[in-house]
Copies of this chain bind each other. A is one copy, B any other.
């Protein structure tokens, strides 16, 4: 704590908040992958490299820059909320998807969504993660609570921790969050007079990260009813993170949780073009209950008064020029094959061992493998070290768990980045590392 102001370490000059944030829980894994290029990384949540839409992006950006006046507009500042034409396109696309999914699933004989997104309630950001970060600012004071699946998206728990909020984990099964467990947690808070602390339920409603599981259609309506029932004087919001909605390859689409929100004041819907088009373009969005939108706009105004407008025009043209849908169709087929490859390899390599369990994902980018409880998958453990030695990397399950029962015997495997032969080879190496621990 001594110093003349120019030498030695500084202490205590950062905010409390700065002292809460740490490096990414998987930052070390990324460094390892870079240092050891032969390593087969089944860890990174990057998207398939080969299918990135080079031609479509080029075509869309040229469209955005073709007509001189529109080109200059694309290179100027936009509004904080984002391009209204793109917002309208997104609103239409969500509505169309919800209508089609309702008809296909018809879980409770609805024929029209109870809630449809409107462009004026939407905010465009550089990826939907920004929406999650701004929502944490908007909703959480220190000690406030978000309920989420256990396990859940580890960047989200890191965001919540960054504002001194708490993520409490709710048990989940192959149909998503268990509503009996959710209700028990709500009731416990109500009983303790702490219900006002619960600001939202976070649900990755389609092919979640890390498990690849979707909340079932029946549970969507019930979850909404439950949240409404416990919203006394103030709403318990539902943050519906639909980042992987488009990446389905074996399942019909489901109506969004948002579409069930007949009061139009509980559900925030977030989505992104990072997974379904290109992460390097980085366009995401959120749809908000109107009272919350104003706060989000003010926070976004302070952050950067609106995300890059050129990228928004690029995506708008990708949608209107017919470049987006064929790309999504391609991705479904590419990821469908990769998922099948990983599942076949897991079946062949791990099933005989009798110590591994996974839910077959029907979309998204991940398989979540639960091993027998005595097998520690942690970054400091023997299994992880041996897997790295053999040349395969996975995400240990532990950082994916919010407060509550942390399991140390799980791993997240991504089939997004690697080719099919490398996926098969990676799973074989992983199985060898596991066998050696038995």
Query: A: which residues have CB within 8 A of B?
Result: 1-3, 5-6, 9-18, 21-24, 27, 46-47, 49-50, 52-54, 57-58, 61-62, 65, 68, 71-78, 80, 125-127, 129-130, 133, 137-141, 144, 155, 158-159, 162-163, 196, 199, 228-235, 263, 265, 274, 278-282, 291-292, 294-295, 297-299, 301-305, 307-311, 313
CB-defined contacts of A1 to chain B, threshold 8 Å: 233
A280 to B77, CA, bound (A): 5
CB-defined contacts of A138 to chain B, threshold 8 Å: 14-15, 17-18
For A310, give the chain B residue with the smallest CB separation: B280
A233 to B9, CA, bound (A): 8
CB <8 Å contact, B23 and A127: no
Cβ distance A198 to chain B, nearest Cβ, rounded Å:
10
Given contacts A1-B233, A280-B310, A281-B308, contact A301 B24 (CB under 8 A): yes
CB-defined contacts of A12 to chain B, threshold 8 Å: 196, 233-234
CB <8 Å contact, A126 and B126: yes
CB-defined contacts of A302 to chain B, threshold 8 Å: 21, 133, 155, 158-159, 162
Q: Which one, B74, B155, B235, B311, contacts A13 given CB within 8 A?
A: B235
CB <8 Å contact, A75 and B46: no
CB-defined contacts of A140 to chain B, threshold 8 Å: 15
CB-defined contacts of A47 to chain B, threshold 8 Å: 76-77
CB <8 Å contact, B234 and A11: yes
A49 to B68, CA, bound (A): 11
Known interface pairs A23-B301, A24-B298, A158-B302; 18 further A-B residue pairs with C-beta atoms within 8 A, sorted by A's residue number = A9-B291, A10-B234, A11-B233, A15-B137, A15-B163, A18-B138, A24-B305, A46-B77, A47-B76, A47-B77, A57-B310, A58-B65, A61-B65, A75-B281, A77-B274, A129-B305, A155-B302, A282-B309
Q: Which one, B72, B130, B155, contacts A49 given CB within 8 A?
A: B72
For A162, give the chain B residue with the smallest CB separation: B302
CB <8 Å contact, B309 and A129: no
CB <8 Å contact, B76 and A279: yes
CB-defined contacts of A230 to chain B, threshold 8 Å: 5
A129 to B58, CA, bound (A): 28
For A12, give the chain B residue with the smallest CB separation: B234
CB <8 Å contact, A6 and B76: no
CB <8 Å contact, B231 and A280: no
A428 to B241, CA, bound (A): 53
A305 to B126, CA, bound (A): 10
CB <8 Å contact, B234 and A298: no
A275 to B299, CA, bound (A): 22
CB <8 Å contact, B130 and A304: yes
CB <8 Å contact, A57 and B65: yes
Cβ distance A346 to chain B, nearest Cβ, rounded Å:
26
Q: Which one, B15, B130, B228, contacts A5 given CB within 8 A?
A: B228
Given contacts A11-B234, A139-B13, A233-B1, contact A280 B309 (CB under 8 A): yes
For A8, give the chain B residue with the smallest CB separation: B233
CB <8 Å contact, A6 and B228: yes
A282 to B77, CA, bound (A): 8
A54 to B67, CA, bound (A): 10
CB <8 Å contact, A75 and B54: yes
CB <8 Å contact, A310 and B10: no
CB-defined contacts of A301 to chain B, threshold 8 Å: 21, 23-24, 27, 155, 158
CB-defined contacts of A46 to chain B, threshold 8 Å: 76-77
CB-defined contacts of A265 to chain B, threshold 8 Å: 6, 10
